[in-house]
Chain A
Amino acid sequence: MRIFDPHIHMTSRTTDDYEAMAAAGIEVIVEPAFWLGQPRTSIGSFVDYFDGLIGWERFRAEQFGIWHHCTMGLNPKEANDEPLAREVLALLPRYLAKDRVVAVGEIGFDSMTPAEERAFVAQLELAIEHDLPVLVHTPHRDKVAGTRRSIELVLASGIAPERVVIDHNNELTFEDVRASGCWCGFTIYPDTKMDEHRLVRIVAEHGLDKMIVNSAADWGRSDPLKVPKTVEAMRAADFSEADIERLVWDNPIAFFGQSGRLELVDDAAAPDPSSTFAGNSILRGAREG
């Protein structure tokens, strides 16, 4: 089973994790730009972090045969430091032009402040300008209200809702997200946000359309193998292999493929290795001119 983890903060993980992920079948990942567990105090820290996402982390992943992509954005927590936030927003266009930057994100709400909302709206505009999809983080606190306000801002921005994934859903938020036309992300954690068995109950009842699952795996208590573990939970619940692959491979490719910047691993079984999926390179690192 080929697995795509569409939201995983590898900067916080060890090489042992990469090794275990590769052994578990994870071939493609997306690492969203987020905060680092403590606030940054200068623009230089953002520059170095963004450089790491397109440089060292990508290189590190390739040593394990994992194809690394990222999203670029100003996260909601740090949007509240407005002088610094303005500098980050001015820096972003340079990084949104990079190869394998497949969305603007994570943007959204943390405490639902006016500053967070201003950064959210500004970055929805950047996504339209740079023709990129959007990854929206939903808040831990007051989640239902935060999710609904996020949907309102997305719809008001003019971006097509199918180019937006709203992430970290739970039983009380996902139906609003699906009704909006946005994609619906689920983060599978050892506890808190969602676990694989609860996820199985949701998809058994509501289907797989525009649903994606991720591990988020960051600096907190988390597990970079939660997507493979979701695969096992779905097998135990008698989902077909095709349905499981749809959730953990086809769906994230369909969503992030809208960027035209996915580069997927070689697939020796592909009938035509030079073929592309919606402008995305299938052949590793080498599209013939």
Chain B
Amino acid sequence: MTPLAHDELAAALDARLDPAARAWLAAARHETTTEVDAIATIFPAVGRHVGRGTLDPAAERGDVHAWTLDDAARTLLLVALGARAAPELAPLYRHGDAAERRGVLRALAYLQVEDGVGLPLIDDALRTNDVRLIAAALGPFALGRLDDAALAQAVLKCVFVGVPLGGLAGIEARVTPELCAMLARFVHERIAAGRSVPADVWPLIDRHPPTTELAAIEAELTNPVGERRQAAEAALAARAHRS
């Protein structure tokens, strides 16, 4: 999904707020822009006032890539801080719960933030096992800045913890032959264990099909162990179904 521009985000949120939530957000924006330190106690309270449902009413519940109402409100509050936002990011993230951290990560693409401030937050989120944080970390800010090795590790992490790869906007342009080979080795490991393989790895693997790894996967079709054969059949059927 393509990220919304700032004004589209503001309009989408406004359309979803009731009068009380809209008034709270306006007051919060005023307070945070006029009082030093107010953001520290307003930022955690956002979800209680604007809600935590998805910004897009059609989004599926549980879609870790979908923005929530509180994500949008936190982003707009940080944008409203202007130049004061950047120094607040590290403490807000450091002391934040998962929803606050997600808000900071989502906001990075909308702020003027130096890499030295933003990338440590991305690195921290990618070290967690929280699918919501990992998904929020891999937005336009990270995709434009992580080097190939770090991005490859991040994509593999998504596969391991269950963050759908289809939600990573712009990932196609960053796929390298090495990432394809890593994903294919992951597929082979899963098949050798008789386990299922998420179908969304194939569009990435097939951008630079890794010959050696794919041959090893196909060889599993004749493995003497029944579970391995079945896992290989299912995985390769998902690949064929896509193409």
Q: Which residues of A come within 8 Å of B, CB atoms?
A: 47, 51, 54-55, 58-59, 93-95, 97-100, 260-261, 285-289
Contact = CB atoms under 8 A, between A and B. Distances in A.
Contacts of A94: 40-41, 44, 95
B155 to A, nearest CB: 22
B185 interface: no
Closest 7 CB pairs of A and B: A289-B51, A54-B97, A97-B41, A97-B44, A286-B53, A287-B51, A288-B53
Contacts of B21: 289
B41 A59 contact: no
A55 B95 contact: no
A287 B98 CA distance: 17
15 contacts: A59-B98, A59-B129, A94-B95, A97-B41, A97-B44, A99-B44, A99-B45, A99-B97, A260-B48, A285-B52, A286-B51, A286-B52, A286-B53, A286-B54, A288-B51
Contact of A97 (B45, B51, B61, B69): B45
Interface centre among A47, A58, A99 (most CB of B within 10 A): A99
Given A93-B41, A97-B44, A99-B44, A287 B53 contact: yes
Given A55-B98, A59-B130, A94-B95, A99 B47 contact: yes
Nearest to A288: B53
Contacts of B44: 94, 97-99
A51 B52 contact: no
A28 B17 CA distance: 29
A260 B47 CA distance: 13
Given A286-B51, A286-B53, 12 more contacts: A55-B98, A58-B98, A59-B130, A94-B95, A97-B42, A98-B97, A99-B97, A100-B97, A261-B48, A287-B51, A289-B21, A289-B51
Contacts of A288: 16, 51, 53
Interface string B106-142: 0000000000000000000000011000000000000
Interface residue SS majority, chain A: loop
Contacts of A95: 95
Contact of B17 (A54, A98, A289): A289
B157 to A, nearest CB: 16
Nearest to A54: B97
A35 to B, nearest CB: 21
Contact of B52 (A58, A59, A287): A287
A260 B49 CA distance: 11
B48 A289 contact: no
B136 to A, nearest CB: 14
B47 A289 contact: no
A99 B95 contact: no
B95 A289 contact: no
B105 to A, nearest CB: 14
Contact of A289 (B18, B41, B99): B18
Nearest to A263: B52
Contact of B16 (A47, A54, A98, A289): A289
Interface in B128-181: 129-130
B48 A99 contact: yes
B222 to A, nearest CB: 38
B53 A99 contact: no
A96 B48 CA distance: 14
A51 B40 CA distance: 15
Interface in B65-123: 69, 94-95, 97-99
A260 B44 CA distance: 14
A100 B98 CA distance: 12
Contacts of B41: 93-94, 97
Contacts of B45: 97, 99
Contacts of B205: none
B126 to A, nearest CB: 15
A97 B61 CA distance: 26
B50 interface: yes
B97 A289 contact: no
Contacts of A261: 48
Contact of B69 (A55, A93, A98, A289): A289
Contacts of A98: 44, 97
